[in-house]
Amino acid sequence: MTNINPKNWCLNGLLFSFLCCFSTLTQAQLYATSTGQTNFFSETPAENIRAVNTKTQVLLNTTTGEIAVRMNVRDFHFPNKLMEEHFNENYLESEKYPTSTFKGKITKLPDWTQNGTTDVRVDGTLLIHGKEQPRTLTGKISVQEKNITLTTDFEVALKDHQIDVPKIVFVKIAQVIDVKANYILTPYRR
Amino acid sequence: MHVLRTVFLFCALPAAVLAQDDLLDELEKQADGKPQPVSATFKSTRIINVQSVETMKRNHLDFRISHRFGRLNSGAKEFFGLDQAVMRLGFEYGITDDLMVGVGRSGEQKAYDFFGKYKLLKQTTGAAQSMPISVTLFGSAVIRTQESFVPGETYSFQDKLTYTGQLLIARKFSERLSLQLTPTYLYRNRPELSNDENLLLAMGVGGRLKVSRRVSINADYFYAFRENNNLPYYNSLALGVDIETGGHVFSLHFTNSLGMIEKQFIGETTGSWGKGDIHYGFNISRTFSLDRKKKLLPN
């Protein structure tokens, strides 16, 4: 019995590896959407600027609490198309920096098995206009049967991401933009 | 041992895919790589005089005021042309994102112009099979309401009409440089001068070079294929600067053409750059969105 058969050892190893493999697969629960809604607002005395992106991609790993958000800047739509063009051409420079992203980790995981809403904090990095900023965002996670809904509301200071506002604009733009997001995630299949 | 390591690595792979940054990579893989139409080949629906491939977006109204002053070489007494001015007022509206219509009134010849523009092809970026150019069709009809070009002669309604057809072919070569070719068909039911031809074909070239995010240098030129070289007409050349200020586009320029509609600047330019017959001019455009989509926001 004490005699170790190399063949047996190898087989055991293989079995162990497979077990590892399956366990990670079952543990790693991924939830995703590609139609998340991200809004932003800028209220100024002259004109309120608002835009919406309804093609935001979100991926959440419920095991680790890691979360990734990605959106094309060009998918932000404004009621005024000239504003939309200026936003892309002059402010966000979407040809140079086509995407905005956020990657982070939920600091304290909610109970995914219970339906209900939990306040959460997410530590992570926000990338806008090619400039990264470490951010802690607060929001809510609602678990409902097979869906997980994430909502958040935070501010983005233009100077944090080196977005310049020209001196000769007729419509004054606020230095801080309010962002609201609402993402409804469903189980992810690759 | 070697086999074991390979097997282990293979099995560990799914776990690695799900780690940290790789969630973002996964999203990038999922993102659709569909070719996107390029935005803003030109800042406005004109380069300077010539129409650009751009059209007004759906439900957007553009109010345009264009001025051309007198000739710079008219001297100090005329304040280098600034004492006189001709104007065109225009309203331009997008029916869809690709189709627009416009109407304008020019002081010169008291002319009313009616036109339509349709985006036929859009330059795209991204995927392998992208479209290299944008093509827009332009058609206009102009009625000159100022009476008799030659005293004593009478003109019927038909005589006062002119038609223009253009193919606007443009490419945005880079963020800074866009160029446009404009083959033009111009038909005058009755030309201003009796020895001029009814049909005039012309080729336009134009472009813009952005010098900063909000300022660009623009130029357009038309070569008219005339058979009669004894006419007092020159080819039209305009050079200018576009300044964009959020909602407005100011276009300041110098041109040897007084008219601001195709019939006039392509077919009837009497000024010569060489002689200093240069007009200072500007176009101001203000765009209004008539789109009031309340459902834009969820709350």
Average of per-residue pLDDT values in chain A: 84
Evaluated on CA atoms B74, B78, B79, B85, the torsion sign reads negative
Q: Do the domain assignments include residue B26?
A: no
Alpha-carbon gap: A114 to the closest alpha carbon of chain B (Å):
24
- The percent of residues above 90 in pLDDT, for chain A, comes to 55
Alpha-carbon torsion angle B15, B18, B19, B23, nearest 10? 170
Place of tokens 């008291």: B110
pLDDT in tens, B125-149: 866 678 999 999 999 999 999 876 6
B297 or A87, which is more confident: A87
Q: Do the domain assignments include residue B166?
A: yes
Q: Do the domain assignments include residue B17?
A: no
Mean pLDDT value of segment B18-31 = 77
Q: Do the domain assignments include residue A23?
A: no
Residue A170 confidence (pLDDT): 53
Q: Do the domain assignments include residue B107?
A: yes
Mean pLDDT value of segment B105-116 = 95
3-state helix, strand, coil in chain A (%, to 5): 20, 50, 30
pLDDT in tens, A39-70: 998 877 767 788 999 999 999 999 999 999 99
Tally of domains in chain A = 1
Alpha-carbon gap: A180 to the closest alpha carbon of chain B (Å):
10
Mean pLDDT value of segment B237-262 = 89
Question: Residue A28 carries which side chain, given as an amino acid letter?
Answer: A
Q: Do the domain assignments include residue A86?
A: yes
Nearest to B27 by CA among A24, A131, A62, A33: A33
Whether residue A92 has pLDDT greater than 70: yes
Chain-chain contact of B60 with A82 (C-beta, under 8 angstroms): yes
Q: Do the domain assignments include residue A6?
A: no
Alpha-carbon gap: A14 to the closest alpha carbon of chain B (Å):
7
Residue A170 neighbours by CB distance under 10 Å: 11
Whether the CB of A38 is below 8 Å from some CB of chain B: the reply is no
Whether the CB of B5 is below 8 Å from some CB of chain A: the reply is no
Residue B205 confidence (pLDDT): 98
Residue B55 confidence (pLDDT): 95
Cα–Cα–Cα angle for A161, A164, A166, nearest 5°?
170
Alpha-carbon gap: B288 to the closest alpha carbon of chain A (Å):
8
Q: How far, CA to CA in Å, does B121 sit from each of A34, B8, B203, B220?
A: 29, 53, 20, 22
Residue B11 confidence (pLDDT): 47
Whether the CB of A23 is below 8 Å from some CB of chain B: the reply is no
A14-48 burial: b if 16+ Cβ within 10 Å, else e: eeebeeebeebeeebbbbbbeebbbbbebeeeebe
Residue B24 confidence (pLDDT): 87
Q: Do the domain assignments include residue B131?
A: yes
Whether residue A125 has pLDDT greater than 70: yes
Residue B143 neighbours by CB distance under 10 Å: 14
What are A136's two structure tokens? Answer: 């802690």
Q: Do the domain assignments include residue A143?
A: yes
Residue A119 confidence (pLDDT): 95
Whether the CB of A28 is below 8 Å from some CB of chain B: the reply is yes
Alpha helices in B187-254 (DSSP H): none
**Residue in chain B lying closest to A164 (CA):** B213
Whether residue B170 has pLDDT greater than 90: yes
Whether the CB of A25 is below 8 Å from some CB of chain B: the reply is yes
Q: Do the domain assignments include residue B63?
A: yes
Nearest to B287 by CA among A81, A126, A47: A81
Average of per-residue pLDDT values in chain B: 87
User: Which chain A residues are within 8 Å of B15, Cβ to Cβ?
Assistant: 20, 24, 28
Q: How far, CA to CA in Å, does B228 sit from each of B194, B231, B259?
A: 12, 6, 21
What are B277's two structure tokens? Answer: 């017959």
Residue A189 confidence (pLDDT): 78
* Residue span of the structural domain in which A153 resides: 29-187
Length reported for chain A: 190
What are B147's two structure tokens? Answer: 């009476």
Q: Do the domain assignments include residue A56?
A: yes
Whether residue B173 has pLDDT greater than 80: yes
What are B130's two structure tokens? Answer: 């992208």
Residue A5 confidence (pLDDT): 58
A63: Cβ–Cβ under 8 A, 6 or more apart, which residues? Answer: A27, A28, A29, B18
Mean pLDDT value of segment B56-85 = 89
Place of tokens 């200026």: A86
B152 or A20, which is more confident: B152
User: Which chain B residues are within 8 Å of A70, Cβ to Cβ?
Assistant: 24, 27-28, 31
Q: By the 8 A CB rule, do B142 and B157 touch?
A: no
Find the CATH number of the domain harbouring B257: 2.40.160.40
Q: Do the domain assignments include residue A22?
A: no
Q: By the 8 A CB rule, do B133 and B150 touch?
A: no
Mean pLDDT value of segment A93-101 = 90
Find the CATH number of the domain harbouring A126: 2.40.128.110
For the ranges A11-20, B180-189, B235-244, the lowest mean pLDDT is seen at: A11-20
**Residue in chain B lying closest to A189 (CA):** B30
Q: Do the domain assignments include residue B15?
A: no
Q: Do the domain assignments include residue B3?
A: no
Alpha-carbon gap: A179 to the closest alpha carbon of chain B (Å):
12
B92 or B27, which is more confident: B92
Whether residue A111 has pLDDT greater than 80: yes
Mean pLDDT value of segment B187-208 = 94
* Residue span of the structural domain in which B113 resides: 35-289
Distance of CA B9 to the CA centre of its chain: 59
User: Which chain B residues are within 8 Å of A57, Cβ to Cβ?
Assistant: 27, 30-31
